[in-house]
């Protein structure tokens, strides 16, 4: 079942790039904070690398000015996420989450089967805004689209 507005972010252990790769509970990431989490089907994939992550890198300061943390998630291992962050010039403070086994994507009900493309189980492309671990906005993309989960759209939804 897909997470809904008003629901609490599920408690899952996920790898975070923070002075290396650290296993952290999603409770630590979301509790007591305002967080925009966006998820991509895969690091280094075309739309993810050309538009999705770069949009959040470009708008990162605007989120921070509003007191909002930004987290990027992909079903990739921590080493791939680290290389992608370096390649994309991700600023310090933008949280990179490596959901290697898709445990968080599954817990959110936002996993997808991309085996037909040789990618296995991945996360759907989405963005959500949560306050103190409770989802306030949820934007899930239709297959093959990139509109509602963009940095521009999420900034606009914050008011």
Residue 67 scores a pLDDT above 80? yes
Query: What local confidence, expressed as pLDDT, does residue 65 receive?
Result: 97
In the set 48, 68, 110, 140, the catalytic residue is 48
The predicted-structure confidence for 69-103, as pLDDT tens digits, reads as follows 999 999 999 999 999 999 999 999 999 999 999 99
**Strand extents, DSSP E, the chain:** 13-17, 21-25, 34-40, 69-74, 95-98, 111-113, 121-123, 126-131, 134-140
**Buried-state track 28-50, b at ≥16 Cβ within 10 A, e below 16:** ebbeeebbbbbbbbbbebebbbe
> Which listed CATH number (3.40.33.10, 3.90.226.10, 3.30.1180.20, 3.40.30.10) goes with 13-123+130-157?
3.40.30.10
Ordered by start, the domain boundaries in the chain are 13-123+130-157
Structural contact between residues 73 and 41, judged by C-beta atoms closer than 8 angstroms: no
SS3 category, 114:
coil
Chain segment 144-157, per-residue pLDDT in tens: 899 999 999 999 99
Active site residue 48: yes
The pTM score is 0.95
When pLDDT is cut at 50, 70 and 90, the band that residue 115 belongs to is confident
pLDDT of residue 119: 81
């Amino acid at each position: 079942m897909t997470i809904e507005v008003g629901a609490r972010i599920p408690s899952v252990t996920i790898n975070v790039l923070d002075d290396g790769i650290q296993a952290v509970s999603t409770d630590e990431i979301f509790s007591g904070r305002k967080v925009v989490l966006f998820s991509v089907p895969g690091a280094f994939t075309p739309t993810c690398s050309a538009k999705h992550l770069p949009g959040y890198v470009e708008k990162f300061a605007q989120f921070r000015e509003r007191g909002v943390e930004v987290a990027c998630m992909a079903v990739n291992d921590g080493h791939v996420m680290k290389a992608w962050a370096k390649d994309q010039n991700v600023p310090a403070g933008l949280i990179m989450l490596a959901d290697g086994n898709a445990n968080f994507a599954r817990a959110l009900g936002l996993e997808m089967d991309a085996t037909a493309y040789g990618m296995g189980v991945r996360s759907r492309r989405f963005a959500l805004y949560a306050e103190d671990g409770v989802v306030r906005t949820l934007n899930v993309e239709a297959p093959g689209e990139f509109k509602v989960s963009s940095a521009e759209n999420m900034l606009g939804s914050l008011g």
